[in-house]
């Protein structure tokens, strides 16, 4: 096949819908950076001394970068995936060694006037590498050895980035588990993660109050133990369909728990948690017995889940008590246990005030008093969504969210139409990363998720992140453009 | 690989994205479209509510002399964004601060923990309360310091160095005050003690407000709705105190180096003419910037100069209390003019003995008062509490007795218009039932007849007793404010309280008190100008006795009733009588005679040594 013909058909096959959404988001983002960093003493938004001027440069270079990336064939990534991955690991390690300490983090490499953060770029390397690995002919998610290697490929960069003290960026890598889920990883793992978050939030949030005089139990402990029992029972039913086991758990577990609660409420109040804890331990024991009786490994997994769930509250508590003060306070503020408007809660509270003041249609471009008068810190980077909320109001901010939703859905469609696993895995990696950033960043500004310093793609000021997201996206768009070409 | 194996999971992932976006949009709707606190908070940031402080009401004494007034002071403010090309050295020199001080102040402003409302676009407090003298130097050079502004504040000034406890002071509001009353915001001033506190609502006036609009640059754009929401400040109301500052000054002078209290009341009106608590302090020490330092020093002083002993100190009234007993026994018919009780160096009953000094025996009421005979009043109480024809049991007698005491203003707060007041102690039947497990008699409680034992009164209550006797049977709630300019006094301060004893019996006690001045314990109070009535007290104490005097003058149509309480002053005649007499002279004659002036100097120079123990 002639190279020229290929190129033409490839350019014709580029998904212009995604590129349009990309351009809309970047432009919208640039206006927001203008709004957030605008300084009335320096009204020239294109001046290189302002953040808006710099962001314009970053955007233009991103477009060039995008063009270049569209020229690089998929073959290249296919062959070079592991090399890129290895090189990126090396770069991360080098960064860890040579990077100067900036506000406690060692992740920025100064290059002349600008600084680069390799952790932002490493995501695409991981995405390529796991894509390539899963594209192997004999790859099977249920093969423990292969699965372990896959997990290792994701976790090694996480560890290095954690050592660089960029916990927020490291958390982004957890989104690869969403990709693994799409590729066949059992949903119970995701569910376990979800359960862990629920346990943690409920357990810590309600770790001091009791339910009532007649039910003198610690609310958090009580709810977590009950949830552990319920989740275990449901899992047992779904994964084994063992009716006997179900009946045993319903009668022995739920039944006795109910009796204990009724006894506490109507006869003599006592700490019901002791009983439930004991019952949960019995259920764990029962599942272990079943494992040996039926010689079926799923019972063992459920037993492990039940044991972990039951002990989670106590482990969390011990760990929580041993956290450093500022970390504990952050968590307490997030969970609404403390109102700390001067310390950790200040940013979030000011952010909510700024957004709330926007109303339906906002105050208009450059007219946001909250953001202009610098009530919100870090407003052109992590808290950029405040400016959108204040100046463009509900219409604008909901518009941003909907545009993002369309963007992510479009990427799902693109990923699904890939002819090979590599393309699909890579596509899902890209969209999962965008989704995670959106989830954490906007959630944090709205006071719904923890304050983790990660940028809102295309909106937050900064070259590294803009380049990183552009690279991530355009490698995928080129792969997608080649979907109609038969693999050689 | 079978590419369609898990394809349906794309819906799960697309669903997760949808759930996240929908949740966030709902949250946005709640924040932006609902009526939430966040909106009002944002309004606070965008509107600029320029508060205009009203002038606080000033205080005069009963003769119209100015006591407390306001003076302008200047807060230096800074807008960080506008500070450019600052000659730090020049600024420091002009303000009289060190370079380090300057750096510290700037850092404090920028520290969000110490200054949560910080914005580099708005005025921040750089230096509070500059005097006009210092300010005039700064003002000349102000044009050189870009970004520095001035905010006018008024601070409280004192024209007198007397009456600190009555006048009280003002200071910045505490967070608890802000919580209790939404009128206050951080940095406002509030009365902390004395009249400044109890009349805070009248003195403070009402803050005015200008609602100004700010644009995104923090610039003022003008009045919101053309000033429709603005309102002017209402100045605070001035007060005329009932205190005569000259009497007050004399009282403080006489109590120098002593501990105790003096209260003088105009019997007809209940107006407090002077309220001295010793040791005292100069109210000027609590003005302005030095307040904190002096407060701390006084807090550490074991003599507790901040404590207003006149209304918060509770003491055994000693023999001054015998007048109340005489009134009770007369009204209850226990004694009459002719009743005579023996006293052989005291009251003896079995093994019980209450000592007394040498005087004729047996004796009737008037000489008993004038010689301050312990035996007489102990017998009186004994016969009252043992009278089973009149009272079913000792409890009933006790209750009757207590009702008399309460009707005279003891055992409960009198209701003076000061922020705090002690109630003293008048025991009742329950009290002794508990203490003696129901087995007690007149003999168990005999010492209450002579103002000892469980009975305690505040100096104000003792002075009020003098006023009640002067009025022959009633008192008006004592108060330190005579007039609120543009308002009327609270009704509770003008109530006439009539005791349970008829005026004719009061007349007998008045005669007894007159006799004690003419030829009894109070003869030092006698003078040629007007008829003084008095009663000494020598309140027993673990250490040296307390010296007490209660009296009034003139006998007919009385103008002043006085109580003097000098801790560990010994005999009532030692300090109580001469101090009381001097105060009466100062108030009635308007000045002291030469002879009295010498006496005053002698008393002023006397020092009672209290050691350094905590009291």
Write the pLDDT tens digit of every residue in B377-389: 999 999 999 888 9
Residues B334, B468, single domain; the answer is yes
Chains A, B: CB pairs < 8 Å: 140
- pLDDT tens profile B413-427: 999 999 999 999 999
Based on the fold, state whether residues B257 and B388 are members of the same structural domain.
yes
Residue B565 — φ and ψ, nearest 5°? -135, 110
Q: Which residue of B has its CA nearest to A444?
A: B24
pLDDT at B128 (0 to 100): 79
Residues A176 and A208 in one domain: no
Q: Identify the pLDDT of residue B115.
A: 67
- Same domain, yes or no: A162 and A38: yes
CB atoms A373 and B25 under 8 Å: no
Question: How far does Cα A211 stand from its chain's mean position?
Answer: 33
Q: Last residue of some domain: B133, B153, B173?
A: B153
CB contact under 8 A, B42 and A412: no
Q: Is the pLDDT of residue B196 over 70?
A: yes
Distance CA(B498)–CA(B468), nearest Å, equals 9
- Chain A residues close to B25, C-beta within 8 Å: 398, 401-402
| Smallest Cα distance from B223 to chain A, Å | 17
The shortest C-alpha distance from A188 to chain B (Å) reads 14
Q: Judge if B253 and B380 occupy the same domain.
A: yes
Chain B nearest C-alpha distance from A329 (Å): 15
Does position B542 have pLDDT exceeding 50, yes or no? yes
Q: What is the pLDDT of residue A3?
A: 47
Distance CA A161, CA A105 (A): 10
**Residue with structure tokens 């929580």?**
A320
Which residues of chain A make contact with B28, given a CB cutoff of 8 A? 355, 389, 394, 397-398, 401, 446
- Answer whether residue B458 is part of any domain: yes
User: Residue B330's closest CA among B498, B465, B502, B446?
Assistant: B502
CB of A255 closer than 8 Å to CB of A282: no
Nearest CA in chain B to A365: B216
Q: Taking the CA atoms of chain B, what radius of gyration do you get in angstroms?
A: 33
Is the bond preceding B362 in cis, omega lying within 30 degrees of 0?
yes
Rounded to an integer, what distance in angstroms lies between the CA atom of residue A293 and that of residue A291? Answer: 6
Reading the block at residue B127, the tokens are 């230096």
A41 φ/ψ angles, rounded to the nearest 5 degrees: -80, -10
Is B381 in the same domain as B501? yes
CB of B122 within 8 Å of a chain A CB? The answer is: yes
Residue B151: strand, helix, or coil = strand
CA distances from A64 to A7, A71, A474, B182, B184 (A): 18, 11, 11, 59, 59
Q: Note whether residue A488 is domain-resident.
A: no
The answer to whether B343 and B451 are in contact (CB under 8 A) is: no
**Would you state the structure tokens that stand for residue B276, as one six-digit string?**
């001295």
**B251 and B131 fall within a common domain:** no
The answer to whether residue B165 is domain-embedded is no
What is the Rg, in whole angstroms, of the alpha carbon atoms belonging to chain A? 26
Smallest CA–CA separation between A4 and chain B, in Å? Answer: 30
Q: Give residue A2's pLDDT.
A: 41
Q: Which of B472, B514, B121 is closest to A375 using CA atoms?
A: B121
Any CB–CB contact under 8 A between B21 and chain A? Answer: yes
Q: How far apart are CA A432 and CA A438, in angstroms?
A: 10
* CB-based contact, B31 to chain A, within 8 Å: yes
Q: Are residues A173 and A115 in the same domain?
A: yes
Q: What does the alpha-carbon distance between residue B110 and residue B116 come to, in Å, rounded to a whole number?
A: 9
β-strands B59-60, B239-241: how paired?
A: parallel
Of B10, B25, B32, the CB nearest to A359: B32
Q: Are A410 and A18 in contact (CB under 8 A)?
A: yes
Tell me whether the omega of the peptide bond preceding residue A115 falls within 30 degrees of 0, making it cis.
no
**pTM to 2 decimal places:** 0.58
* Chain A closest-CA separation from residue B213 CA (Å): 11
Decide if pLDDT at B23 tops 80: yes
- What residues have CB less than 8 Å from A238, skipping those under 6 apart? none
Mean pLDDT confidence for B117-140: 78
**Rounded distance between C-alpha atoms, residue B578 and residue B599, angstroms:** 8
Q: Is B45 on the interface with A (CB under 8 A)?
A: yes
What's the CA gap between A144 and A131, in Å, rounded? 18
Mark whether B300 and B406 lie in a shared domain.
yes
Residues of B in contact with A183 (CB under 8 A): 6
Interface test with B, best of A188, A357, A363 (most B CBs within 10 A): A357
pLDDT of B73-121, one tens digit each?
A: 888 888 887 787 788 888 888 888 888 888 888 888 877 666 666 667 6
Interchain contact, A397 vs B119, CB within 8 Å: no
**Residue B358 contacts A where some CB pair is shorter than 8 Å:** no
State the virtual CA torsion across B176, B182, B187, B188 in degrees, nearest 10. -110
Orientation of helix A421-445 relative to helix A118-134, angle to 10°: 140
Tokens of B614: 């905590």
Is B588 a member of any domain?
no
- Residues in A closer than 8 angstroms to B212, CB to CB, are none
User: What is the tally of structural domains in chain A?
Assistant: 2
Q: In total, how many domains does chain B have?
A: 2
- Give how far B185 is from chain A: nearest CA, Å: 17
Test A355 with B39 for CB contact under 8 angstroms: no
Determine the pLDDT at residue A337.
59
Whether residue B19 lies inside any domain: the answer is no
Residue B111: domain span: 73-153
In a shared domain, residues B253 and B131: no
Q: Do B28 and A355 touch (CB under 8 A)?
A: yes
Closest CA–CA distance from residue B151 to any residue of chain A (Å): 21
Distance, CA of B546 to CA of B569 (rounded, Å): 5
Query: Residue B523 belongs to what H/E stretch?
Result: none
Query: What pLDDT score does A18 carry?
Result: 94
Lowest-pLDDT choice from B1-10, B28-37, B551-560: B1-10
A245 and A292 housed in the same domain: yes
Q: Is A373 in contact with B18 (Cβ distance < 8 A)?
A: no
A98 with A222, same domain: the answer is no
Does residue B147 share a domain with residue B277? no
The CATH number of whichever domain residue B556 belongs to comes to 3.40.710.10
pLDDT category of residue B354 using cuts at 50, 70 and 90: confident
End-to-end Cα distance, chain B: 92
Average pLDDT estimate for B458-486: 95
Determine the pLDDT at residue B1. Answer: 43
Distance from the A173 Cα atom to the nearest Cα atom in chain B, whole angstroms: 16
Is residue A111 domain-shared with residue A239, that is, in the same domain? no
Question: Is position A336 within any domain?
Answer: no
Q: Is A452 exposed, middle or buried (0-12, 13-18, 19+ CB in 10 A)?
A: middle
- Chain B residues touching A346 at Cβ < 8 A: 112, 116
Tokens of A21: 């959404």
Structural domain includes residue B21: no
Q: Let me know whether A174 and A255 are in one domain.
A: no
* B414 inside domain: yes
Report the pLDDT value the prediction gives residue A7, as an integer from 0 to 100.
62
Residue of B5, B13, B41 with shortest CB distance to A353: B41
Question: Which residues 176-235 of B are in CB contact (within 8 Å) with A?
Answer: 214-218
Find residue B533's DSSP bridge partners. Answer: B552
* pLDDT value of position A103: 65
Whether A139 contacts A131, CB under 8 Å: no
> What is the CA B455 to chain-centroid distance, rounded?
23
On chain A, the residues whose CB falls within 8 A of the CB of B13 are: 178, 181-182, 412, 428, 431-432
Cis before B279? omega within 30: yes
Q: Please list every residue in chain A whose beta carbon sits closer than 8 Å to the beta carbon of residue B116.
A: 341-342, 346
Q: How far is A415 from chain B (nearest CA, A)?
A: 10
Least confident interval from A288-302, A408-422, B314-328, B450-464: A288-302
Contact state of A370 with B45 under an 8 Å Cβ cutoff: yes
Could you tell me if B517 and B584 are in contact, meaning their C-beta atoms sit under 8 angstroms apart? no
**Looking at the domain assignment, is residue B220 inside a domain?**
no
| DSSP letter assigned to residue B493 | G
Same domain, A139 and A239: no
Q: Is residue B368 part of a domain?
A: yes
CATH number at residue B101: 3.30.1390.30
For residue A398, the chain B residues in CB contact (below 8 A) are 25, 28-29
> What is the tens place of the pLDDT at every residue in A460-486?
988 888 988 999 999 999 999 988 776
Closest-CA residue of B relative to A440 is B20
pLDDT tens, position by position, A73-126: 888 988 999 999 999 999 999 988 888 777 667 778 887 777 778 887 788 899
DSSP A205-250: HTSS-BS-SSS-SBHHHHHHHHHHHHHHHHHHHHHH--HHHHHHII
Determine the average pLDDT of the residues in B405-410.
94
Residues A219, A108 share a domain: no
Smallest CA–CA distance from B41 into chain A, residue: A353
At B369, list the tokens: 């008062």
Mean pLDDT of chain B: 86
Q: Do B16 and A360 touch (CB under 8 A)?
A: no
- Compare all CA atoms of chain B with the CA of A421 and give the residue at the minimum distance: B3
A13, A74 contact by CB (below 8 A): no
Tell me, yes or no, if B33 comes closer than 8 A to chain A by beta carbon: yes
Q: Which residues of B touch A132 (CB under 8 A)?
A: none
Note whether A170 and A195 are same-domain residues.
no
Chain B residues whose beta carbon lies within 8 Å of the beta carbon of residue A356:
31-32, 36, 38-39, 41-42
> What is the C-alpha to C-alpha distance for residues A469 and B364, in angstroms, rounded to an integer?
109
Residues contacting A225, CB < 8 A, separation 6+: A273, A276, A277, A280, A310, A313
User: pLDDT under 50 in chain A at which residues?
Assistant: 1-4, 340-344, 488
Bridge partners (DSSP) of residue B52 are B208
- What DSSP character marks residue B51? E
Domain hosting A260: range is 189-322
Helix (H) / strand (E) element for B320: namely none
For residue B37, give how far its alpha carbon lies from the nearest alpha carbon of chain A (Å). 8
What pLDDT is attached to residue A345?
56
| Residues A250 and A165 occupy one common structural domain | no
What's the confidence (pLDDT) of residue A294? 85
In a domain, A146, yes or no: yes
- Hey, are the CB atoms on A408 and B45 less than 8 Å from each other? no
Q: Which of B303, B316, B308 is nearest to B615 (CA)?
A: B303
Q: What is the C-alpha separation between A471 and A66, in angstroms, rounded?
A: 7
Q: What is the pLDDT of residue B216?
A: 54
**Interface contact A389-B28, CB threshold 8 A:** yes
**Nearest-CA neighbor of A173 among A188, A192, A151, A195?**
A151
Distance from CA of A369 to the nearest CA of B (A): 4
In a domain, A331, yes or no: no
Model pLDDT for residues A134-187, shown as the tens digit of each residue: 988 788 888 888 889 998 999 999 999 888 877 778 888 888 988 988 888 877
Q: Which of A72-86, A343-357, B4-18, B541-555 has the lowest mean pLDDT?
A: A343-357
The answer as to whether A335 is a domain residue is no
């Amino acid at each position: 096949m002639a190279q020229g013909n290929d190129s033409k058909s490839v350019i014709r096959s580029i998904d212009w819908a995604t590129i349009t959404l990309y351009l809309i988001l970047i432009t919208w983002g640039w206006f927001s950076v203008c709004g957030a960093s605008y300084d009335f003493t320096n009204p020239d938004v294109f001046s290189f001394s302002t953040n808006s001027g710099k962001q314009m440069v970053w955007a233009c270079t991103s477009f060039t970068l995008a063009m270049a990336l569209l020229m690089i064939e998929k073959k290249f990534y296919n062959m070079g995936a592991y090399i890129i991955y290895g090189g990126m690991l090396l770069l991360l390690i080098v960064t860890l060694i040579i990077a100067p300490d900036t506000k406690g983090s060692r992740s920025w490499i100064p290059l002349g006037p600008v600084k680069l953060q390799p952790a932002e770029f490493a995501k695409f390397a991981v995405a390529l590498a796991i894509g390539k690995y899963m594209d192997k002919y004999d790859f099977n998610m249920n093969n423990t050895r292969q699965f372990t290697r896959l997990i290792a490929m994701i976790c090694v960069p996480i560890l290095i980035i954690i050592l660089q003290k960029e916990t927020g960026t490291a958390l982004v890598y957890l989104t690869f588990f969403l990709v693994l889920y799409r590729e066949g990883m059992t949903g119970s793992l995701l569910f376990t993660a979800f359960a862990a978050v629920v346990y943690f939030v409920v357990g810590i949030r309600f770790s001091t109050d009791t339910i009532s005089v007649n039910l003198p139990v610690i609310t958090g402990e009580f709810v977590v133990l009950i949830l552990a029992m319920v989740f275990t029972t449901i899992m047992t039913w779904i994964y084994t369909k063992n009716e006997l086991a179900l009946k045993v758990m319903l009668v022995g577990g739920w039944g006795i728990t109910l009796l204990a609660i009724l006894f506490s409420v109507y006869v003599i109040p006592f700490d019901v948690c002791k009983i439930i804890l004991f019952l949960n331990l019995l259920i764990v024991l029962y599942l272990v017995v079943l494992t040996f009786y039926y010689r079926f490994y799923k019972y063992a997994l459920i037993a492990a889940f039940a044991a972990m769930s039951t002990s989670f509250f106590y482990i969390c508590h011990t760990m929580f008590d041993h956290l450093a003060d500022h970390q504990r306070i952050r968590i307490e503020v997030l969970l609404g246990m403390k109102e700390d408007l001067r310390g950790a809660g200040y940013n979030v509270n000011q952010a909510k005030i700024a957004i709330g003041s926007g109303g339906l249609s906002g105050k208009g471009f450059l007219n946001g008093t909250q953001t202009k008068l610098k009530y919100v810190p870090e407003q052109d980077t992590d808290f950029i969504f405040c400016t959108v909320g204040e100046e463009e109001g509900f219409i604008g901010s909901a518009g941003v969210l909907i545009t993002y939703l369309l963007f992510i859905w479009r990427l799902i469609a693109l990923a699904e139409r890939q002819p090979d696993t590599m393309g699909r895995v890579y596509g899902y990696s890209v969209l999962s990363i965008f989704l995670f950033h959106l989830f954490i960043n906007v959630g944090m500004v709205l006071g719904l998720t923890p304050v983790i310093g990660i940028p809102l793609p295309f909106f937050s000021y900064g070259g590294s992140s803009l380049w990183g997201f552009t690279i991530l996206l355009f490698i995928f768009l080129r792969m997608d453009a080649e979907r109609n070409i038969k693999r050689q | 690989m079978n590419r369609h194996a898990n394809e349906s999971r794309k819906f799960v992932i697309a669903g997760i994205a949808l759930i996240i976006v929908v949740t966030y949009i709902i949250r946005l709707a709640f924040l932006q479209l609902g009526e939430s606190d966040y909106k009002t908070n944002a309004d606070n940031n965008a509107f600029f509510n320029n508060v205009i402080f009203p002038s606080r009401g000033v205080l005069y004494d009963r003769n119209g002399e100015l006591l407390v007034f306001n003076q302008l002071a200047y807060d230096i403010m800074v807008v960080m964004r506008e500070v450019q090309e600052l000659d730090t050295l020049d600024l420091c020199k002009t303000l009289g601060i060190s370079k380090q001080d300057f750096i510290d102040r700037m850092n404090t402003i920028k520290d969000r923990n110490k200054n949560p409302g910080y914005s580099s676009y708005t005025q921040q407090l750089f230096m509070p309360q500059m005097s006009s003298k210092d300010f005039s130097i700064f003002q000349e050079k102000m044009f050189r310091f870009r970004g520095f502004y001035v905010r006018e504040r008024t601070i409280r000034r004192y024209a007198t160095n007397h009456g600190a406890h009555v006048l009280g002071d003002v200071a910045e509001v505490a967070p608890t005050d802000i919580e209790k009353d939404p009128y206050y915001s951080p940095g406002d001033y509030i009365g902390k003690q004395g009249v400044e506190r109890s009349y805070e609502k009248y003195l403070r006036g009402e803050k005015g407000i200008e609602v100004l609009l700010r644009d995104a640059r923090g610039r003022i754009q003008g009045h919101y709705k053309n000033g429709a929401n603005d309102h002017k400040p209402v100045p605070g109301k001035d007060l005329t105190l009932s205190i005569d500052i000259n009497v007050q000054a004399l009282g403080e002078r006489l109590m120098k180096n002593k501990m105790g209290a003096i209260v003088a009341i105009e019997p007809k009106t209940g107006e407090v003419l002077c309220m001295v608590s010793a040791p005292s302090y100069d109210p000027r020490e609590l003005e302005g910037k030095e307040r904190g330092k002096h407060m701390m020093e006084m807090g550490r002083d074991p003599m507790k100069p901040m404590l207003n002993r006149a209304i918060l100190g509770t003491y055994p009234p000693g023999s001054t209390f015998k007048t109340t007993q005489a009134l009770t026994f007369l009204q209850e018919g226990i004694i009459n003019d002719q009743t005579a009780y023996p006293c052989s160096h005291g009251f003896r009953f079995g093994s019980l003995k209450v000592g007394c000094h040498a005087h004729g025996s047996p004796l009737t009421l008037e000489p008993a008062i004038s010689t301050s005979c312990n035996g007489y009043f102990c017998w009186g109480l004994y016969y009252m509490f043992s009278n089973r024809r009149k009272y079913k049991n000792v409890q009933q007698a006790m209750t009757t007795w207590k009702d008399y005491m309460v009707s005279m203003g003891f055992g409960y707060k009198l209701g003076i218009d000061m922020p705090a007041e002690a109630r003293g102690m008048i025991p009742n039947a329950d009290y002794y039932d508990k203490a003696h497990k129901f087995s007690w008699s007149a003999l168990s409680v005999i010492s209450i007849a002579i103002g000892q034992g469980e009975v305690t009164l505040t100096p104000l209550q003792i002075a009020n007793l003098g006023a009640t006797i002067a009025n022959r049977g009633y008192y008006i709630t004592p108060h330190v404010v005579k007039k609120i300019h543009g308002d009327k006094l609270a009704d509770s301060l003008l109530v006439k309280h009539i005791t349970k004893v008829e005026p004719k019996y009061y007349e007998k006690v008045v005669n007894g008190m007159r006799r004690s001045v003419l030829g009894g314990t109070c003869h030092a109070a006698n003078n040629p100008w007007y008829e003084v009535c008095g009663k000494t007290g020598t309140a027993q104490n673990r250490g040296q006795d307390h010296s007490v005097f209660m009296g009034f003058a003139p006998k007919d149509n009385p103008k002043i009733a006085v109580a003097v309480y000098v801790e560990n002053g010994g005999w009532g005649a030692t300090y109580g009588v001469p101090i009381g007499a001097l105060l009466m002279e100062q108030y009635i004659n308007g000045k002291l005679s030469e002879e009295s002036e010498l006496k005053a100097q002698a008393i002023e120079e006397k020092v009672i040594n209290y050691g350094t123990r905590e009291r």
